[in-house]
A and B are shown apart, each in its own frame.
Chain A
Amino acid sequence: VTSTSTDGTAPAGLALSGRPVYLAPLDVHDVLAILAEDVPGTAILGGGTVVMPRLSTGAERPARLLDLAAAPGLAEVTTADRTSTLGATVTYATLLERPVHRLLTQVARGITGGPQIRNQGTIGGSLCYANPASDLPTALTALGARVTLERPGARRTVSVADFVLGPYQTALAPGEILTAVEIPADDARYGYVKLKHGQSSWPIVVAAARISRAAPPDTITVTLGAAVARPVSIEVHLDGELGASLTPSQATAVAEIVRAASDDWWADELATARYRRRVAGILAARAIDDALGKERSA
């Protein structure tokens, strides 16, 4: 294991300085080996946009920091067999530079916080943090993406929908790490909208709409996030033809279906569950309009 430590590991020194041991393995094999050591209090750094502020405020005091930045294999984007594979440390900036899917490009474009966040924030970090008020768990659920979870000698894949179990909860087992995200190619139409309370707000509601071309008449799936404790996908069947945008009665129908589709509305410091429930259906209808509008302009 190649690792660096910026601080002595003597317990007394640790207690006084409070600095965790810093580990930056050079490949995935070493990452897995370190995790297999099963030392309690190991925090994994993707881009650090969540962990580092928590270290600064003292909200988290891990014994070890495992930084994935030096393991280049994890930052790769590859495409084969109509499936794109994104390494866990692929950043929002990479999603903008190397478009994989129009929906993901749209998500990455909507990430605020400046280049610092877009260059540092990773898809694996966002998925593993599983903050309800975020974009990627919802967008990747809508895309039918799967994640690769690894530990020494074992590898499994699960759908993102099954990976995100609830607020800040994932299907990761002890000693396991998310290494990649697979996105299947898909010729459906997608739309995406996000509601925020100002530029510095986290998402209050996100909604992705998928309109299938294959299964007539147009099958619509709305995946809702931020408004609910975990992303939820809702099949929407509408009366009448789909035009360039929803008719008022279609939009009302979408809103009603979505409002009835969850009993686990999310609340946090920025918005109540009541508010989120009220506006979620409106955002869902706008996501469908976004998909329809893009089709028209494409």
Chain B
Amino acid sequence: MSAVSSVARRLDGARIVRGTTRYLDDAVPAGCLHVAFARSPHAHALIDAVDLSAAAAAPGVVWALSGKTAAGLIGDLICLLPEALTGAGGPLMLPCLPAQRVRYAGEPVAMVVAETEDAARRAAELVALACTPRPPLLDVSSATAPGAPPQHPQLATNVVMSSAVRDGDAAAALAAAAHAVEGQVRLGRAVPLEPRGCIAWWDDEAGRLVVRAATQQPHGLRAELARQLQQPESDIRVLAPPLGGGFGFKFPGLPEEPLTCLAALHLRRPVRWVETRAESLLVGARDYQASYRVGFDRRGRVTALSVDLDADVGALSATPGPVMPAVAAGTFPGPYDVGHVEVRWRAVMTNKGPWNGARGFGKEATCVVMEAALDDVARVTGLDPAEVRRRNLLRPEQLPHRTSTMTLDSGDYPRALDMALELADYPALRARQARQPAEGPLRTGVGVAVELTPEGIDYAGSLSRGFETATVRLDTSGNVVVLTGVTSPGTGSETAIGQLVASRLGIPVAAVRVIQGDTDRTPYGAGSFSSRAVMTGGTAAWLAAGDLRQQLVTAAAALLGAEPGAVEAAEGLYYVRDEPARAIPLGPLVSAVRTLGAALPGLGGPQVEATRTYGPGNLQSIPDETGRLQQYPAYSYSVHVAAVEVDIETGTTRIERLAAVHDCGTVINQALVDAQLHGAVAMGVGIALFEEERHDGQGRPLATDFKRYLLPRLQDIPELRTGYLESPSPFTELGTKGAGEGGVGGSAAAIAGAVRDAAGGGHLRLPLTPERVLELIDGYYDAATGGAQ
């Protein structure tokens, strides 16, 4: 693979730099109608009636629809949750517009379609919702209290899923452990970065629906639209324009896309829906609370871990979002060798907005909890936190390592730890910390975290599968077109796929055209998620290109009068080894195959395109006879060391330095992997210090824009020092593991650990806002002074 590993420039780079990328809203068809949704001001209410008359009569309005009137026109959304975990005895259904119960403040209760966006929004304000407000359930404890009204008619309680992940006997091992410590961790509710939207129109000539949607899963969206709109799948074309970020928040499963398509079908006119920032911030993720108990010996070896993990998944959605707590539970105990583990988890419905996926997909929560527990072990034993990690990490010779939910594939975790400590100049940081004066407001804190990032999910039973199909097509210009079902949410996956194909065919990357995001042109594929674009889509294209190469070599040998074994390819030229004058460029070679294939003896068949399907190994996608389920084939990991400076008077944190060492197996393009890691750390900074969607006592979201939901800016991101290891997976064709998520949880955990280090301990509640940091510090000084402050 060394021929591939390079820093090829992004195929979409010029478009991005020159501002010629056409995002969804950059191309609005003439005569387009606009959708606005009337949204409930109440977080929880029983609907008496939705009166559309004033809205329908407003200027410019062409159609208005309520839950009642929509019911016969559009199919329900279907939740993706396994019946074995919900206990519902069938898939959970959700109407696109509610007719009975409002489940969160901001839930759409009516759709208005009008000639302009402004007219639609004004008319939506005229929709009269007559309802009986109920007390909102705004956290796990109120939603699970006896008598709490269940928020879904197919469920008896608000626990939509619950289960336990077990290895060994954690209870017995905890009882037998020399030491045990308890702790708690909470993560703030995260929200999307770019609004969703779609534009749908009826193609009268073809007699079919065309949808341009800001989506991570064009094929999956098409299948769901076909079912909900009762149109044949082949009569719908979904186009996915470039995204300004996916991060999991652009999975299908929310009602606005199908309703917009319904309007286009019904009205036979183009219809556009693009949500506002405030609407975009209604969707959430990552709202976890965990209690843990860790047992260990005096040498700091962890023998047992017991975790209760609750996820507040808000109003139930049909996106993959509510699945995340299952992934979080299944990722324990991360990269560590812990014999006895039990993780009891629940996904609980409340009256907050629905979840969609969020980068990290639960694994970030695992990492933050696991690392908090290891910091506790260090505190109790008096060992250095890095040493505690070293004593508990799986060693390379223990890999592959099997748990009840994972088979960790390859890597050298202790070496990555050593590299990260060296990059961070860890001994110097600790020495400085030991020397710091007792007076003055600034305290140095240092945190260490090791994140395991299972990647490439195969979610059997849904359209989010782990395999991909790719077609590679040669042309007489010597160019190559790759048709792939994976999309690029801005990550640049097309460049890496192009590199793989180019290296296989011996052509420059610039001669490759990668086509994504069009259900008419691309093969079936699951889209962009779980760091799988290159591992699956790239490998399928690599295999297809390999088939073509074989054919081209045969043809070139016939034309050049050489043995096939003597033919090589480079820079678009097929030539005889050691005789570069005997050569034929790819264009004429393809011409020859197309015009003379199967006719001229020795040339081979006339085929100049190939299609291959690829999925990685190392999966147990449906439970085996013992019930074991393993949905992830590849296990990237990263080690993070953070140094912070905490102002103990104001609670303000400045991240001084962050070192990260990342191993995602075989690297195809180092620059793209770098970019992913840098972005992941930025997101980790947000999780650790800034990002949180909160609600008032009535369940109304407080963060309606990015002045109230704080994202880190460039100046908030620390100096990054990065390093890489490359441990190929034995279970994937090219050894790749996926680079898109690694570092989100690890950087958050390291920063949180560093703040906790500076503050002296305490329960972690992320984000660590200055106010929460002061609470940590107060707890520390309370304890230090015997309770007096």
Residues of chain A whose beta carbon lies under 8 Å from any beta carbon of chain B: 12, 15-19, 53, 57-58, 112, 195, 197-202, 204, 248, 269-272, 275, 278-279, 282-283
Task: State whether B118 touches A18 (Cβ < 8 A).
Answer: yes
Task: State whether B649 touches A269 (Cβ < 8 A).
Answer: no
Given contacts A197-B690, A197-B710, A200-B707, contact A282 B702 (CB under 8 A): no
Task: State whether A271 touches B771 (Cβ < 8 A).
Answer: yes
Chain B residues, CB < 8 A from A17: 116, 118-119
Encode B526-553 as 1/0 by CB contact (under 8 A) with A.
Answer: 0000000000000000000000000000
The CA-CA distance from A200 to B711 in the complex, in Å, is 7
Chain A residues, CB < 8 A from B690: 197-198
Shortest distance in angstroms between B457's beta carbon and chain A's nearest beta carbon? 33
The CA-CA distance from A195 to B774 in the complex, in Å, is 15
Binds A, one of B155-163, B248-256, B590-598, B712-720: B712-720
- Complex A-B: 5 CB contacts under 8 Å: A17-B119, A198-B713, A200-B716, A248-B439, A279-B651
Task: State whether A58 touches B121 (Cβ < 8 A).
Answer: yes
The CA-CA distance from A197 to B770 in the complex, in Å, is 7
Chain A residues, CB < 8 A from B119: 16-18
Contacts beyond the supplied A57-B277, A58-B121, A269-B708: 18 A-B pairs with Cβ under 8 Å: A15-B59, A15-B122, A16-B59, A18-B122, A19-B118, A197-B652, A197-B769, A198-B690, A199-B713, A200-B707, A200-B712, A204-B770, A270-B708, A272-B771, A279-B649, A279-B651, A279-B770, A282-B649
Given contacts A198-B716, A279-B649, contact A269 B702 (CB under 8 A): yes
Which of A12, A19, A200, A283 is most buried by chain B, counting CB atoms within 10 A of its CB? A200
Interface pairs A-B: 8 shortest CB-CB: A199-B713, A18-B118, A269-B708, A16-B59, A275-B771, A282-B649, A199-B715, A279-B650
Chain B residues, CB < 8 A from A18: 116, 118-119, 122
Shortest distance in angstroms between B39's beta carbon and chain A's nearest beta carbon? 13
The CA-CA distance from A113 to B194 in the complex, in Å, is 19
Shortest distance in angstroms between A77's beta carbon and chain B's nearest beta carbon? 29
- Residue in A19, A248, A275 whose CB lies within 8 Å of B770: A275
Task: State whether A198 touches B277 (Cβ < 8 A).
Answer: no
Q: Does B278 make an interface contact (CB < 8 A)? A: yes
Encode B597-635 as 1/0 by CB contact (under 8 A) with A.
Answer: 000000000000000000000000000000000000000
Chain B residues, CB < 8 A from A270: 708, 710
**Complex: chain B residue closest to A58, CB-CB:** B121
- Residue in B277, B441, B650, B716 whose CB lies within 8 Å of A199: B716
Task: State whether A269 touches B277 (Cβ < 8 A).
Answer: no
Q: Does B706 make an interface contact (CB < 8 A)? A: yes
Shortest distance in angstroms between B747's beta carbon and chain A's nearest beta carbon? 16
Q: Does B69 make an interface contact (CB < 8 A)? A: no
Q: Does B689 make an interface contact (CB < 8 A)? A: yes
Residues of chain B whose beta carbon lies under 8 Å from any beta carbon of chain A: 59-60, 115-116, 118-119, 121-122, 276-278, 439, 441, 649-652, 689-690, 694, 702-703, 705-708, 710-716, 769-771, 774
Task: State whether A12 touches B59 (Cβ < 8 A).
Answer: yes
Task: State whether A198 touches B59 (Cβ < 8 A).
Answer: no
**Complex: chain A residue closest to B125, CB-CB:** A58
Task: State whether A16 touches B116 (Cβ < 8 A).
Answer: yes
The CA-CA distance from A243 to B707 in the complex, in Å, is 39
Task: State whether B774 touches A278 (Cβ < 8 A).
Answer: yes
The CA-CA distance from A113 to B122 in the complex, in Å, is 31
Task: State whether B689 touches A282 (Cβ < 8 A).
Answer: no
Which of A12, A195, A269, A271 is most buried by chain B, counting CB atoms within 10 A of its CB? A269
Chain A residues, CB < 8 A from B649: 279, 282
**Complex: chain B residue closest to A276, CB-CB:** B771
The CA-CA distance from A80 to B386 in the complex, in Å, is 65
Shortest distance in angstroms between B655's beta carbon and chain A's nearest beta carbon? 11
The CA-CA distance from A201 to B709 in the complex, in Å, is 9
Chain A residues, CB < 8 A from B122: 15, 18
Which of B115, B712, B770 is most buried by chain A, counting CB atoms within 10 A of its CB? B770
Chain B residues, CB < 8 A from A278: 774
Given contacts A57-B277, A202-B707, A275-B771, contact A16 B60 (CB under 8 A): yes
Which of A15, A18, A198, A248 is most buried by chain B, counting CB atoms within 10 A of its CB? A198
The CA-CA distance from A199 to B715 in the complex, in Å, is 7
Given contacts A16-B115, A272-B771, contact A195 B121 (CB under 8 A): no
Shortest distance in angstroms between A202's beta carbon and chain B's nearest beta carbon? 6
Chain B residues, CB < 8 A from A16: 59-60, 115-116, 119
Which of A53, A57, A202 is most buried by chain B, counting CB atoms within 10 A of its CB? A57
**Complex: chain A residue closest to B58, CB-CB:** A15
- Residue in A19, A53, A57, A195 whose CB lies within 8 Å of B650: A195
The CA-CA distance from A197 to B652 in the complex, in Å, is 7
Given contacts A12-B59, A18-B118, contact A198 B712 (CB under 8 A): yes
The CA-CA distance from A269 to B701 in the complex, in Å, is 10
**Complex: chain B residue closest to A275, CB-CB:** B771
Task: State whether B710 touches A200 (Cβ < 8 A).
Answer: yes
Chain B residues, CB < 8 A from A58: 118, 121, 276
The CA-CA distance from A17 to B118 in the complex, in Å, is 7
Shortest distance in angstroms between B334's beta carbon and chain A's nearest beta carbon? 29
Given contacts A57-B278, A275-B771, contact A195 B652 (CB under 8 A): yes
Shortest distance in angstroms between B715's beta carbon and chain A's nearest beta carbon? 5
Task: State whether B439 touches A57 (Cβ < 8 A).
Answer: no
Shortest distance in angstroms between A75's beta carbon and chain B's nearest beta carbon? 26
The CA-CA distance from A204 to B650 in the complex, in Å, is 11
The CA-CA distance from A283 to B711 in the complex, in Å, is 24
**Complex: chain A residue closest to B121, CB-CB:** A58
**Complex: chain A residue closest to B59, CB-CB:** A16
The CA-CA distance from A200 to B708 in the complex, in Å, is 9
**Complex: chain B residue closest to A278, CB-CB:** B774
The CA-CA distance from A283 to B702 in the complex, in Å, is 27
Which of B705, B712, B716, B771 is most buried by chain A, counting CB atoms within 10 A of its CB? B771
Shortest distance in angstroms between B418's beta carbon and chain A's nearest beta carbon? 32
The CA-CA distance from A57 to B195 in the complex, in Å, is 13
**Complex: chain A residue closest to B713, CB-CB:** A199
Which of A18, A112, A197, A278 is most buried by chain B, counting CB atoms within 10 A of its CB? A197
Task: State whether B689 touches A198 (Cβ < 8 A).
Answer: yes
Shortest distance in angstroms between A245's beta carbon and chain B's nearest beta carbon? 11
The CA-CA distance from A282 to B651 in the complex, in Å, is 12
Shortest distance in angstroms between A195's beta carbon and chain B's nearest beta carbon? 6
Chain B residues, CB < 8 A from A282: 441, 649-650
Chain B residues, CB < 8 A from A275: 651, 770-771, 774
Task: State whether A201 touches B710 (Cβ < 8 A).
Answer: yes
Chain A residues, CB < 8 A from B707: 200, 202
The CA-CA distance from A270 to B706 in the complex, in Å, is 11
Shortest distance in angstroms between A8's beta carbon and chain B's nearest beta carbon? 14
**Complex: chain B residue closest to A283, CB-CB:** B650
The CA-CA distance from A58 to B122 in the complex, in Å, is 9
Chain A residues, CB < 8 A from B118: 17-19, 58
**Complex: chain B residue closest to A282, CB-CB:** B649
The CA-CA distance from A248 to B59 in the complex, in Å, is 67
The CA-CA distance from A283 to B649 in the complex, in Å, is 9
**Complex: chain B residue closest to A202, CB-CB:** B707
Chain A residues, CB < 8 A from B713: 112, 198-200
Shortest distance in angstroms between A281's beta carbon and chain B's nearest beta carbon? 10
The CA-CA distance from A242 to B694 in the complex, in Å, is 44
Task: State whether A200 touches B706 (Cβ < 8 A).
Answer: yes
The CA-CA distance from A272 to B769 in the complex, in Å, is 11
The CA-CA distance from A270 to B207 in the complex, in Å, is 52
Task: State whether B276 touches A57 (Cβ < 8 A).
Answer: yes
Chain A residues, CB < 8 A from B712: 198-200
Chain B residues, CB < 8 A from A272: 771
The CA-CA distance from A195 to B710 in the complex, in Å, is 15
**Complex: chain B residue closest to A269, CB-CB:** B708
The CA-CA distance from A278 to B119 in the complex, in Å, is 47
Shortest distance in angstroms between B773's beta carbon and chain A's nearest beta carbon? 10
Chain B residues, CB < 8 A from A198: 689-690, 710, 712-713, 716
Chain A residues, CB < 8 A from B694: 269
Shortest distance in angstroms between A3's beta carbon and chain B's nearest beta carbon? 23
The CA-CA distance from A200 to B717 in the complex, in Å, is 12
Shortest distance in angstroms between B193's beta carbon and chain A's nearest beta carbon? 13
